[in-house]
């Protein structure tokens, strides 16, 4: 009896592994720090790139925090939470993923020291949350006055792209197409992200990247004899097969003589001609189909001067519907004018081995494509990621209507503000608030390191200039960096990106700190 009482009650199966208390915390903090360290060297314009090789041998060369963390095979649950920080950041504001991951890791590293000096995790968590509030105040103070004009938005786009694995590419050549793409589709209600597409095509310098109205599809008309250029074309999109119906009637054909054979052929011809006639009678000049079009129908359409595309993917059909205003039709019967769209301009062009069709719906529809050029697949892939970020930050800046100094300028202001308030906080929570400021300092310090500046000197100079002028950053131009005014240098980030980075990093770090028991099952 006595023996039974002493035995601990076992509620977990033997397959479970359990780490508790300080061990659990240690392991979580170490995993979190490791993730942050894995992207540290990529921060900022002079950040290095990473080459990611998948198990199937695919190579990605990138500097994008979210991409790196996504492609890495991360198993540790706490580390996985940091990856989620980057993902949230990417989804919410589209940029600042490296910043958020580094900050989360640094908050954990600082917490580790506080735990070592016996600060209770709840005190750290409270301190961090209070500090995050102070950080938001500091960001609000840093918001620049004035309108977000095209120049400002281009600066924002540029800052988000500098240092992406674009080599010697001049990003200012890309900032302008990004901003004009966003401006073209922007309405009073904001920007629908779906209205901006990216189409990549190798074979030219990235400076040839441009905004084109409408959509680009890598498709060729169904017949060589069809026009390669169209203007003001009435457009239909269908997803029904234009071929001989293989109904029951067919099976009953019992062809025994030439007459019957001729009849059968005629019936088929009638049916096919019927399709072409219906299309022509509906006034359609341009037909997109997600299905097959019988060769004979293609020929008849071509004779009528109608341009047709067959076997389009569903996503292309959706884009074309958006761009031309046409409704996707399941049948050719009872086509109404309202179902048809317009293509102001269509042109088929050849790029090396690829044929592309450019379709512009005209003034009625606002739909643009960034036609991204680059020398190789690796270049256009990384450009696509950089441009996606840039589009997002321009939208974020437009949405919140506010931008802040980049190049570590906002971070140094946050650290200063948080540290300034820590002194007035009673008790040991003060230590946690100070630790938060130290963690934020790590961002400009990393920028300095990645630029080849001495991080300690740079931080001292940066603080001195911030104290003297209220605004300072580690402006990187050409090969090196120096302490200067980020606004003068045109290095601006959306305030929303900074806010989200503070929010998601604090959230992840405090969540990890609250865990003191890790139970993992093997299955």
Among 43, 103, 169, 391, contact with ligand ADP (rule: CB under 6 A):
43
List 42, 60, 62, 64, catalytic entry = 64
Which of 406, 455, 484, 494 touches ligand ADP (CB under 6 A)?
406
Please state the three-class secondary structure of 18-46 as a single string. EEEHHHHHHHHHHHHHHHHHHHHCCCCCC
Query: Which of 185, 233, 323, 491 is in the footprint of ligand ADP by CB under 6 A?
Result: 491
Q: Which is nearer to ligand ADP, 234 or 410 (CB)?
A: 410
| Catalytic member of 285, 381, 389, 493 | 389
Residue 32 interaction partner, one of Mg ion, ligand ADP, none, beta carbon < 5-8 Å per kind: none
Q: How many CA atoms lie within 13 A of 76 on its CB side?
A: 18
| Closest to Mg ion by CB, 63 or 302 | 63
Percentages helix, strand, coil for the chain, rounded to the nearest 5?
A: 50, 20, 30
Binding residue count for ligand ADP, defined by CB under 6 A: 22
Nearest to 414 by CA among 492, 473, 485: 473
Q: Which is nearer to ligand ADP, 25 or 98 (CB)?
A: 98
Task: Mark whether 97 is an active-site residue.
Answer: yes
Q: Is 155 in the site for ligand ADP (CB under 6 A)?
A: no
Is 98 one of the catalytic residues?
yes
CA proximity to 488, closest of 391, 407, 413: 407
| Rounded least distance, CB 48 to ligand ADP, Å | 10
State the nearest-atom distance from the C-beta of 195 to ligand ADP, in Å: 24
Residue number, 48 or 350, with CB nearest to ligand ADP: 48
37-45, 146-154, 208-216, 247-255 -> range binding ligand ADP (CB under 6 A)? 37-45
| Residue 170: DSSP 8-state | -
Among 32, 33, 44, 285, binds ligand ADP (CB under 6 A): 44
Closest separation in Å from C-beta 462 to ligand ADP: 11
DSSP string computed for 267-334: HHHHHHHHHHHHHHHTT-SEEEESS-B-HHHHHHHHHTT-EEE-S--HHHHHHHHHHH-PPEES-STT
Q: What mask of x and - would describe binding to Mg ion in positions 89 to 108, judged by CB under 5 A?
A: ------x-------------
- For residues 144 and 72, the answer to whether their CB atoms sit within 8 Å is no
Binding map of ligand ADP across residues 407-426, x = CB under 6 A, - = no contact: x-------------------
For the chain, the straight-line distance linking the first and the last C-alpha, in angstroms and rounded, comes to: 35
Q: Which is nearer to ligand ADP, 411 or 434 (CB)?
A: 411
Residue of minimal Cβ distance to ligand ADP: 406
| Shortest Å, Cβ 108 to ligand ADP | 17
Nearer to Mg ion, 67 or 160 (CB): 160
Longest dimension (CA), the chain: 105
Told to check if 476 binds ligand ADP by CB under 6 A, we report yes
CB nearer ligand ADP, residue 98 or residue 290: 98
CA distance 101 to 111: 15
Q: CA-CA distance, 34 to 40, in Å (whole number)?
A: 10
**Tokens for 488?**
């003068």
Output the smallest distance, CB 497 to ligand ADP, in A.
7
> Does the active-site annotation cover 389?
yes
Phi, psi torsion values for 149, nearest 5 degrees: -80, 175
Per the CB < 8 A criterion, the answer to whether 516 and 145 are in contact is no
Among positions 438-457, residues that touch ligand ADP (CB under 6 A) are 447
- The DSSP line for 321-370 is HHHH-PPEES-STT--GGG-EEEEEEEEEEETTEEEEEEE--TT---EEE
**What is the CB-side half-sphere exposure of residue 285 using CA atoms within 13 A?**
15
Question: Which segment (44-52, 126-134, 168-176, 326-334) binds ligand ADP by CB under 6 A?
Answer: 44-52
Binding residue for ligand ADP, selected from 25, 62, 98, 343, defined by CB under 6 A: 98
Taking CB under 5 A as the rule, does residue 360 contact Mg ion?
no
Among 25, 28, 38, 97, binds ligand ADP (CB under 6 A): 97
Query: For ligand ADP, which stretch binds (CB under 6 A), given 96-104, 228-236, 241-249, 283-291?
Result: 96-104
Distance CA 442, CA 408 (A): 10
- The number of beta carbons lying within 10 Å of the beta carbon of residue 398 is 20
213 is catalytic: no
Q: Out of 32, 47, 361, 484, point to the residue binding ligand ADP (CB under 6 A).
A: 47
User: Interface residues for Mg ion in 129-188 (CB under 5 A)?
Assistant: 160
Burial 100-130 (b: 16+ CB within 10 A, else e): bbbbbbbbbbbbbebbeeebebebbbebbeb
Hey, which residues are catalytic here? 64, 97-98, 389
Would you tell me which residues interact with ligand ADP (CB under 6 A)?
42-45, 47, 65, 95-99, 159, 162-163, 406-407, 447, 474-476, 491, 493
Give the footprint of Mg ion on this chain (CB under 5 A): 95, 160
């Amino acid at each position: 009896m006595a023996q039974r009482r002493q035995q601990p009650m076992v509620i977990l199966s033997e397959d479970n592994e359990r780490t508790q208390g300080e061990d659990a915390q240690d392991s979580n903090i170490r995993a979190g720090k490791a993730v942050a360290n894995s992207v540290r060297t990529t921060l900022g314009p002079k950040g290095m790139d990473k080459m990611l090789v998948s198990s199937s041998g695919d190579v990605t060369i990138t500097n994008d925090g979210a991409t790196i963390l996504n492609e890495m095979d991360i198993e540790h649950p706490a580390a996985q939470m940091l990856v989620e920080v980057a993902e949230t950041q990417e989804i919410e504001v589209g940029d600042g993923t490296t910043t958020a991951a580094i900050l989360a890791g640094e908050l954990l590293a600082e917490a580790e020291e506080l735990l070592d000096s016996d600060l209770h995790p709840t005190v750290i968590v409270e301190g961090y949350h209070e500090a995050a509030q102070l950080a938001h105040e500091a960001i609000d103070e840093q918001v620049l006055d004035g309108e977000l004009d095209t120049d400002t938005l281009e600066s924002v786009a540029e800052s988000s792209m500098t240092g992406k694995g674009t080599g010697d590419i001049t990003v200012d050549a890309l900032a302008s197409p990004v901003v004009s793409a966003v401006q073209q589709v922007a309405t009073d209600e904001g920007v629908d992200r779906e209205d901006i597409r990216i189409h990549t095509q190798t074979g030219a310098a990235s400076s040839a990247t441009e905004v084109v109205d409408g959509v680009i599809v890598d498709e060729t008309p169904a017949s060589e004899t069809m026009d390669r250029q169209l203007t003001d074309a009435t457009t239909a999109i269908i997803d029904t097969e234009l071929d001989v119906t293989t109904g029951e009637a067919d099976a009953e054909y019992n062809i025994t003589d030439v007459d019957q054979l001729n009849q059968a052929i005629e019936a088929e011809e009638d049916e096919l001609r019927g399709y072409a006639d219906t299309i022509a009678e509906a006034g359609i000049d341009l037909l997109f189909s997600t299905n097959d079009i019988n060769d004979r129908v293609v020929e008849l359409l071509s004779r009528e001067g109608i341009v047709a595309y067959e076997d389009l993917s569903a996503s292309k059909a959706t884009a074309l519907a958006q761009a031309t205003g046409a409704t996707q039709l399941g049948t050719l019967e009872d086509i109404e004018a309202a179902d048809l769209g317009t293509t102001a301009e269509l042109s088929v062009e050849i790029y090396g081995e690829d044929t592309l069709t450019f379709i512009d719906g005209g003034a009625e529809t606002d739909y643009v494509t960034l036609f991204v050029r680059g020398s190789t697949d690796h270049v256009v892939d990384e450009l696509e990621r950089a441009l996606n970020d840039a589009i997002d930050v321009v939208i974020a800046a437009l949405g919140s209507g506010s931008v802040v100094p980049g190049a570590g300028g906002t971070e140094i202001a946050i650290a200063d503000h948080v540290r300034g308030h820590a002194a007035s906080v009673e008790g040991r929570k003060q230590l946690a608030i100070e630790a938060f400021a130290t963690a934020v300092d790590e961002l400009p310090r990393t920028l300095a390191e990645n630029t080849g500046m001495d991080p300690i000197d740079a931080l001292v100079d940066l603080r001195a200039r911030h104290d003297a002028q209220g605004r300072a950053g580690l402006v990187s131009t050409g090969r090196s960096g120096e302490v200067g005014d980020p606004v003068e240098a045109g290095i601006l980030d959306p305030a929303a990106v900074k806010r989200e980075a503070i929010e998601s990093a604090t959230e992840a770090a405090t969540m990890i700190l609250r865990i003191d028991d890790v139970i993992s099952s093997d299955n």
